Structures are given as C-alpha cells and as structure tokens.
Structure 1
Amino acid sequence: MLTRNPYEPLRSETLPARLGNLPEMTGRLGSAEGWRVREVGDGNLNLVFIVESTIGSVVVKQALPYARVVGESWPMSLDRAFFEYHALTRLGARDPGRLPALHLFDEGQALQIMEHLSPHIILRRGLIAGTFYPALGEHLGRYLARTLFRGSDLSMDTARRKADVALFAGNVELCGITEDLFFTDPFWDCPRNRHTPALAAQVTVVRADRDLKLAALEMKARFCMCAQTLLHGDMHTGSVMVSDTDTRVIDAEFAAYGPMGFDVGSLLGNLWMAYFAQAGHRADDAGGDAYRSWILQLAETVWEVFVAEFSLLWRTERGGILGGRELFENQADPLGAELMLHGLLADIWSDALGFAGIEMHRRILGLAHIPEFETIAEEERRAACERRALAAGRELAVHRRAFLTIAQVSDLVAGIEARAR
C-alpha cells in the first residue's frame, strides 16, 4: 500500500518506481524494470495508464484533485475513487463477470489497479467505426436488470441497503455534477456550456422551451428524490468496453442511489445519438442504412432483455422489504404480483425515456460532449445530426408517457432521420 506517503499524481515515467514494490503489480507483471507504461486516459476526470510486461498487463486508474476536462480551476475531492471502489465491488457481485476485476484499491492515493481488458475497445469507437457486436444487447440488458434489481429494496436486506444508502449519500460532489450538468446547465446560458456554432438558433429555441425545461426539472426531481437502487450513474457508450464476444462496464465513480430508469435511459439515449451520428460518418456508405437499423435493434434488444431478466428476477429472487409476497403469492394471488411488476416496469420505462431525452440535450448543448458527434469534422453536417438528435430528445423528454413500446421510439427516431433526407 502507498497510503503512508502523501498523495501524488502518477506520471508514466514515475509509475514503475512508485508501484514497483506492490505484489499486486509484480505478481502479474514481474519486475518493474521490464514494465511498459502508457497513459490512455481520455475521460473527463481521471488518470488512466496501461502497464504491460512480457508476462501480463494491468490498468492503473487514479483520481485527480480537479476535473481533468476543465483543469485545476475546477478543484475536486479525491473521494470519488472511494465511491467507485465500493460501487465496483457491489455492481460486480450483482452481475459477475460484467465488470473488470479489481486487484487493489489505495484510498490515500485515490488509486485502483484492475484488470486490463484486451482486446476490448470503448463501445463509442466501435459504433463510430460501424462494428457489429452480436451479444452486446443481451449483455447490457441483463447487466442493467441484475444490478438495478439486486441493488434495490426488492432484493437487498433492508438494514444493509439503508447502510449503503447512507454510504453513497456521501458522493455529494459527483451527484452535484450530475444534477447541474445533466438537468440544468444545458437549458440556460451557463458559462460551462459549449455547442456547435451552427446550432446557435437551436440553442435559443431550447432555452425558451418551457415544456422542455419543465420536463428537465421533473426528471431532476425524480433523480434527486427517488433512491430506488444503486446506479452506475454514468451509463453511456463511453463506459462500456467491448470485444467480439464480451462486454464490460467501467467507470462507476458517479455511483449513487437513484431511480432505476436513470441508467437505462442514459444508455438508450447514447445509442440513439449514435444512430443520428451515422449520417455524419458514413453518409455515402452503402452499408449505412443497415448499420443504423442495427443500432435501433440494439436499443430494442437492451430494453427487451432488461424486461425479461427483471421479470425473471422479480419472480425468482424478490424478497426485500418491498417484495410483497405476503400480500400476493402467499394469499394465492399471483396475478397481484404480476400487476405490481407491470406497474413498476411502466414507471421505469417512462423514467428511462425522460432521462434519455435530457441526456441527448446535455451531450450536445452542455459541457461534456460525445465523440460520435465531435469527430464529424464538417460543422454543418455535425450540426444537422445534432439537430435531429435534439428533436428526438425533446419528444422523449416532454412526451415520455406517450410512448408505450420501444418500437414506437424506434419509429420516432427513424422517422426524424428519414424526413431529413
């Protein structure tokens, strides 16, 4: 452990000397003299290094005392590494094999040593490249169902769950970032915002859109007031790593208790943005239509598998303080339990659409943008893709209760794209 030393950010050239005596490193890599270190962190908050040798490799992740996306002018606590560690242990146990293995956590250095996922890449990159991942929808749908169900009062022992709620309530700083950057900043002239210049007229429209701003505030209230389950908290296509056959979820430092629909909606919103970005990446590609259709099917599969797995867990694992078996199954009324499940899934679906719609606005008009749009070099082409995503996002946020099936959402998204041609 390194905690006896004052906190110090790692650098590629200092990492071997500082970590070279840790058995969690040497047992997997051998002597530090043979290590190769490269920094790969491209996120908004942390340092990330891949450390390799002739016998193995690991990832070293360290929190910085500021937001990397802005710089030292935005100081941040190192506590996010503590909350990420606790989130990884819990989420990983709820869907074994879907998160990277954690080898070491050092709280004093805000540092984690974990499994190096290879040949995996960030899902965003695969979507930009037009790569198909046959098992992805099933993996993500089951992950969402298992972690959201098993982290709730439908499953957990009530004393342990309340202790967990108290623990993660301490993740105030990152929750505050979500509450501001996600739900508030995109809808007013916040200095942190940025947008494609060709969207200036659209920005004015959004800030004057009372119905959209009401939807944003309603979803913010839902996020703040509904502690249903432990969330990943930043569940987008940059927090998923994929190979041809495997899917892993990473970067859980935004973990907090909140509504089940938040993680679901954040992921679906990013998939729908990836759909709209395709016209900017392969407008003249003969396979573009097929890949767009596959992204829509991917989103449908995620939701359909989520519903199936969540329903299975409801029928086979339900037992927390909200289980309600004494009111239904124990009184020979299984239909009552099914009606309760149906109502819960309807609420999750409505929430998911609302969160997806707001996510689609904050990724275009707020601080943290997505490579799917940002890598479209031609400004007007990029803006055209973003306008279509904003149109879909508004419909989902404002009219979230009008969409009863994901097929209806696919029709909405595909229709907006078709009308733009």
Structure 2
Amino acid sequence: MSYRSLNENEVENYIKEKGFFGENEKLQVKEIGDGNLNLVFKVIGDSGKSYILKQALPYVKIVGSDWPLQLNRNRLEAEAMKRQGELAPGLVPEIYYIDNELALFIMEDLSTLEVMRKGTLQMKKYPNFSEHISTFLANTIFYTSDFYLNPLEKKEMVRRFINPDLCKITEDLIFTDPYYNSPRNKINPELISYLENKFWKRQYLWNEASKLKYIFMTKAESLLHGDLHTGSIFVSKNDTKVFDSEFSFFGPSAFDPGLLIGNLLINYVSWEGKEYSKEKVEDYREYLLITIGDIYKKFTDKFSKLWGEKTNDISFKDNNFLDHYFSEFFEDMIGYAAAAMIRRMHGLAHNIDVDEIEDLKERSKVQIIILELATQLMMNRERFKVIEDVISYVKSIIF
C-alpha cells in the first residue's frame, strides 16, 4: 500500500483490518493532533479499548508543501520510542504496530494522564517527576553512549538514527533564526523594537549559539529524544511518560536535559505577566527551581552509578574522565537551556506559557525578561559550576 494521509473514516477501517478491534465494533475516531508535523488520531471502541494512531505528513503543517519532510522520520520515532521504553521501562508509551509504507504507528493511549505543560500552567506539582525523568535521562543517555556500547554497535545505531530533516529544523529554528530577522520568525509586534535595537545586535550572542549549533551537529554522544519539553511529557502524581520522539538522533548528551530545564525556566518567568497572588507565584517558582535542581542532581547520581558499574571501555573508567565529561556536559546543558528559552520567544514555534498572556505589551515585558536571562546564561555558561549556581542566579534576577 503506497503512502497517503488518512482521514478519520480510513483510520477506522485500517485499525480494524489490523485486528485491534472487532469487525462490527463501533468506534469513535477523532483527529487530536495539535503539532506541526503529523496527524494524530484517537480511536475508542465500545469495549473501552483505545489507541493512538500517529501518521507522518510529508511537509510541515504550519508552513505547507514549501517545507517538505521525509516520511522515514516516523520509523525513526517509533524505533526510538521502543528503544527508550526498553532502557527506561514504564516511562515511555508502548508501541504496538509500525507501518513504514503508510508512515504510521499505533501506540498506547495515555488519556488518563495530562500533558505536563497543561499542568504547569495551572501550578500543578508532580512529586515523582524529577525521580522519573532523571531515570529516563540517565538510562537513555548512558546505555546508548560509548561508555556502554561496543564501538561497532554504537556506530551502526548512529547510522540507523540519522534524522536529517528534523535535525535541520532544530539547526534553523533553535540556533539560527532567532538571532536575526528571519522571515520564519513569529514576532510579537510589541517586541520588535527590542529585537531590532538590542537583541539582534548581539553578534557575540549569535557566536555562542553557533558554537552550540556546531556541537549539536557534530557530537554524536547518545540517542536523544531531541525535543524534550513539558509538551512532550505525560504526567500524573504517580506516572511520567515521555512521548513525541520524532526528533531523535545521536547528538550531544546535554541537549535533552538542557531543553527541559529551559522550558521549566520559561514557565518560571511567565508568572510575571499573570494575575496570581504573590504567595502562590513564589511557592510555585520555588517548586520549579527545586525540580530543576533535583533533576540534575538525580541524573548525575544515576549516571555516575551506571558509569561505575557498567562502563566497558577501560579508557573511560578513571574518575578524572567522568569529572571532565560532566564539566563539558554541564556547560553545554546551560547553553542549550538558554537556546531553548530564546527560540520560544520570537521563533517560529512558541510556548503557551508566555503566549497565553493576552496583552501584547505585558507579554513583551515577560519575553524581554526571558531573553535577557537566557542571554546571561548562554554568555556565562562556563562560569556556572554547579546547578545551585544557576538557581541562585535565576533567583537574583526574578523571584
């Protein structure tokens, strides 16, 4: 069967043909995707069973056919999620079926959980999140690295997960477009003056972003999620599930935790433009900073334990080498956190955390605070030695 994008009726017929439901069972099929790259359908049967079917589109929805994409990325996403699920059991949705010709897969429905971004917009707290996500990060980063894998196996995996189209999106939208007046940028009109008169004149900042871009393009350390933020994580008080791994590829290990921390910092600052009591804002900001600190400290503890017990190459078994690894990792992580914050303010794709501020002037004030904070984090990332340094600096800017 050659590729075609499916509609709701075709999804109903397809999923019955594959044996997920009885031939005569009545189904509810709804297209629920809100992203830019795929069609996502939720299918519910009379029996109560439900599944998610995700199909890749051959272009970026927000742009159209002028930005074509390879359909192979759907295979990459499904395989990445299966591998991540093996390495971090219980923290990734189950993949039940893959169809490479139609560029789709069928996976576990997680409707009983909520997307973390939605929860953070309501000041919800997740007591097990830092424990879960640090396990996901430590396991997926370590077990797909040269610390653990045989060199031949690692290089074969790097080849299999080459993801040029999605990497190009990252290279453009995170590391290039935000630093000049790109026609792809989506800009709050109240922010333009600041960008033209201040932000875009910082060639030194673009230079630092370019260094991070080069590392992103050339440092194939571990299999990454590639787009890890609060919109790609399902949560409840007891569960965490990481999904949307279509940007997966072998890249710098600091990238995923950097993106996540950057998105949490966006939420941290965004309360400046919203009408909540000072006490509630301070309490939630403290929770966010504690979460950031816990994620990093638990990650390094778990990664170090894996390194100590399961590193196979004798060249990497010295403690001084691990110190060197974490030193580079931490500096890059802060840089990627800053880059994530910048791209979400005036690049093509924004965060609702800030965009839900309806008054454009008030929104621009929050955007400027975030851009100034991110500038300082990126420019001074080598000066921060431990996560407490970053947390203290953020508090000194705004709390």
- Taking structure 1 as the reference length, what is the TM-score of the superposition? 0.91
- In the alignment, what sits opposite 1:380? 361
- In the alignment, what sits opposite 1:152? 145
Q: Does 1:35 align with 2:27?
A: yes
CA distance in 2, matches of 1:316, 1:249: 26
The 5 A counterparts of 1:242-257 are: 242-257=235-250
CA distance in 2, matches of 1:310, 1:201: 44
CA distance in 2, matches of 1:197, 1:175: 29
- In the alignment, what sits opposite 1:348? 329
CA contact (8 A) 1:17 1:32 kept: no
1:117 to 102, 110, 117: 110
Q: Which runs of 5 or more structure 1 residues have no equivalent in the other structure?
A: 329-336
1:223 to 200, 203, 216: 216
CA distance in 2, matches of 1:189, 1:58: 42
Q: CA deviation at 1:79?
A: 1.3
Code of the aligned partner of 1:367: L
Q: Percent identity?
A: 35
Code of the aligned partner of 1:358: A
CA distance in 2, matches of 1:34, 1:353: 50
Q: CA deviation at 1:391?
A: 1.2
Moved more, 178-187 or 273-282: 273-282
Q: CA deviation at 1:405?
A: 1.5
Q: Which runs of 5 or more structure 2 residues have no equivalent in the other structure?
A: none
- In the alignment, what sits opposite 2:170? 178
Residue by residue over 1:327-374, the C-alpha shift from the partner in whole angstroms, topping out at 9 and shown as x without a partner, is x6xxxxxxxx22211111111100000111111111112111111111
Q: CA deviation at 1:282?
A: 4.1
Q: Tell me how many residue pairs correspond in the alignment.
A: 397
CA distance in 2, matches of 1:292, 1:282: 15
Q: CA deviation at 1:59?
A: 0.7
The 5 A counterparts of 1:304-319 are: 304-319=297-312
The 5 A counterparts of 1:1-400 are: 5-23=1-19, 25-26=20-21, 30-31=22-23, 33-53=25-45, 54-169=47-162, 171-204=163-196, 205-284=198-277, 286-319=279-312, 321=313, 323-324=314-315, 337-400=318-381
- In the alignment, what sits opposite 1:334? none
Code of the aligned partner of 1:129: Q
CA contact (8 A) 2:82 2:94 kept: no
CA distance in 1, matches of 2:160, 2:383: 37
- In the alignment, what sits opposite 1:333? none
- Taking structure 2 as the reference length, what is the TM-score of the superposition? 0.96
Moved more, 103-112 or 116-125: 116-125
Moved more, 202-211 or 252-261: 202-211
CA distance in 1, matches of 2:24, 2:355: 38
CA contact (8 A) 2:129 2:240 kept: yes
Q: CA deviation at 1:285?
A: 5.9
Code of the aligned partner of 2:396: G
Residue by residue over 1:206-234, the C-alpha shift from the partner in whole angstroms, topping out at 9 and shown as x without a partner, is 21102211110110111111111111111
CA distance in 1, matches of 2:26, 2:398: 52
